[in-house]
Amino acid sequence: MQFKVPRGTQDILPGEVEMWQWIEDNIRKICRQYHYAEIRTPMFESTELFKRGVGETTDIVEKEMYTFEDRGGRSLTLRPEGTAPVVRSFVEHKTYGEPQPTKLYYVGPMYRYERPQAGRQRQFHQFGVELFGTYEPESDAEVITLGMDWFAAVGLEGVTVEINSVGCTTCRPVHRANLVDYFTPYQEQLCGDCQSRLTRNPLRILDCKKESCQAIIKDAPSIVEAWCEECTTHFSQVKKELELVNVPYRHNDRLVRGLDYYTRTAFEYMLENRQGGGQASTIGGGGRYNGMVKEMGGPEMSGIGFGIGMERVLLALKTSEKEFPQMTTLDAYVVALGEQAQEETTRILHELRKAGLAVERDLLNRKLKGQMKAADRAGARYVVIIGDEEIKNQRVRIKELASGEQSEVGLEELTHILKEKQI
C-alpha cells in the first residue's frame, strides 16, 4: 500500500524549503528591526478558546475547525489562527503586568477545513504580529507598516492596503441596528448563511462573496454613518500616520474581516493581479481587538495585529518569477582517492565542519570522475582532492569549479585557506 499526504497538505522538499527559510529569515529580521519578540504557542488549544476568541458565528468556528476529543474527554482544536492563542498566553502568563507595550510575532502552521486550491491549503503557514497595551493610532499604523516593509523586503510588488474602522462599543450597535433595518426586507433573497447572520451577526453579511448577496450589500448602510467622534478621530489619525511613511492605502467602508473580535481599525493587504488584469487578491490582514484580552480573563487592555498567509506570498513570488538567493552553497567537496585518503578525509571533514564550513564527501565509493560530477551537482565552490601521494607529502589540491583554477596547499593550511575563500 502506498501512502499519500492528506488532502490539503503538502511536503515541502529540499529545493523549495530554502525559499521558506529565506522568507522566514526576512520575517525575523524585520521583526527585530521593529523590536518584536518571537512567541511559539501549541498547535492545539481548548476548543472554547476559539469559540470565545474568534466568535461562534464566524465561518472558522462554524465550518472550518479541526476539533477532536482527547482521551480525557477534553475538546481540543488544531489552531485555525494565531491571535487567540497569543492572547491566551498573554493573559495566562500575566504579561499584562509587565511594562507595556508588548510586541510579539509568530510563524507557524494553522489548520482549517477549506477547499484546497493554489495558495490555500488545509494546513497552511502564517506570519503574524500582535501588539498589546496601547490604544494610540500610531500603533495601528506601525503594525500595518511592518507588514508592508516585509513585503518589500522579500521583493513582492503591487501590494496595497485596504483599511476601515468597524467602530467600537458605542457606534457598532448603531450600525448593527441600521443593517438589520436595511436587510430585513431582503431576507428571503439572502443566501442561507446570511439569513442566519441577519439575527445573529448582521455585520457578517457584508463579508459574503455570493453574487446574489453582493447585489443587495452594495447599497447597505456604511459604518461611516455610525462612527462616534472618537472612532472618527482615531481613523483619521491612522490614515495620517500611513501617509507620513508613504504606505499606499484605500478606504474600503465595506471591509469587516471574517472575525468577530475586531474593533476600530481593520485592514487587508491586497495584491494586484498582474497576469490577467483581474481583481486584487487578499494575502493577509488584521485589525484592532480592544476587548479580547478582557474576554480571555485579563484586564481591560488593547491589542492589534495581523496574519499573513505564507503560501500565498510564496505563490505570488513564484508567479512574478523572482529569483531567490542561493541558500545551500557548499564551500567544498572533498574527493578521496584510496583507502588511506578515505580515513584522512574523515578527519579533514570534521575539522572543516568545526570551523564553520559547509563540506561534503563521497559516500558511494565512486571513482574520481564520479566524485567530481557529484561535487558539481552539489553546487560546491571548491573541490579538495586528496590521495596517497598527497597524504605522503602532507599536501592537498584545491580546485575552484567555476574557473577551473587549481592550487596545491599544505594539509595544515587547508582550513585557514578555505575560511579565507569563504569570505
- Which class is domain 330-422? alpha beta
Side chain identity at residue 242, one-letter code: L
Provide mean pLDDT across the span 138-146: 97
User: What local confidence, expressed as pLDDT, does residue 229 receive?
Assistant: 94
The CATH fold of domain 17-171+227-319: BirA Bifunctional Protein; domain 2 (3.30.930)
Banded pLDDT at 296 (limits 50, 70, 90): very high
Burial of 47 (0-12, 13-18, 19+ CB in 10 A): middle
Q: All 3 cell numbers of residue 291?
A: 476587548
Banded pLDDT at 71 (limits 50, 70, 90): very high
Q: How far apart are CA 234 and CA 376, in angstroms?
A: 59
User: What local confidence, expressed as pLDDT, does residue 200 receive?
Assistant: 82
User: What local confidence, expressed as pLDDT, does residue 423 receive?
Assistant: 55
Give whole-number Cα distances, 72 to 48, 80, 231, in Å: 16, 22, 46
User: What local confidence, expressed as pLDDT, does residue 309 receive?
Assistant: 94
Residue 120 reports pLDDT greater than 70: yes
Phi, psi of 266 (to 5 degrees): -130, 145
User: What local confidence, expressed as pLDDT, does residue 258 receive?
Assistant: 58
Residue 276 reports pLDDT greater than 60: no
Percent above pLDDT 70 for the chain: 97
Provide mean pLDDT across the span 13-41: 95
Q: What is the mean pLDDT of the chain?
A: 91
**Tens-place pLDDT, residues 320-359:** 877 777 666 789 999 999 888 888 899 999 999 999 999 9
Strands (E), 3-136: 37-38, 44-46, 67-69, 75-78, 102-111, 123-132
pTM passes above 0.85: yes
Q: Is the dihedral of CA 25, 29, 34, 36 positive or negative?
A: positive
Q: Poorest-confidence range of 89-103, 120-134, 182-196, 267-281?
A: 267-281
Banded pLDDT at 48 (limits 50, 70, 90): very high
Same fold, 17-171+227-319 and 330-422: no
Q: Which range in 60-69, 123-132, 189-198, 269-278 is most confidently predicted, on average pLDDT?
A: 123-132
Banded pLDDT at 392 (limits 50, 70, 90): confident
Residue 275 reports pLDDT greater than 60: no
**Tens-place pLDDT, residues 317-329:** 988 877 777 666 7
User: What local confidence, expressed as pLDDT, does residue 260 receive?
Assistant: 62
Provide mean pLDDT across the span 132-159: 96
Provide mean pLDDT across the span 57-73: 91
* Domain residue ranges in the chain: 17-171+227-319, 330-422
Provide mean pLDDT across the span 271-286: 77
Banded pLDDT at 112 (limits 50, 70, 90): very high
User: What local confidence, expressed as pLDDT, does residue 327 receive?
Assistant: 63
**Tens-place pLDDT, residues 197-242:** 888 888 878 878 888 888 888 888 888 888 999 999 999 999 999 9
- Tally of CB atoms within 10 A around 261: 21
- Tally of CB atoms within 10 A around 116: 14
Quickly list DSSP for 51-64. HHHT-TTSHIIIII
Phi, psi of 61 (to 5 degrees): -75, -40
- Tally of CB atoms within 10 A around 16: 14
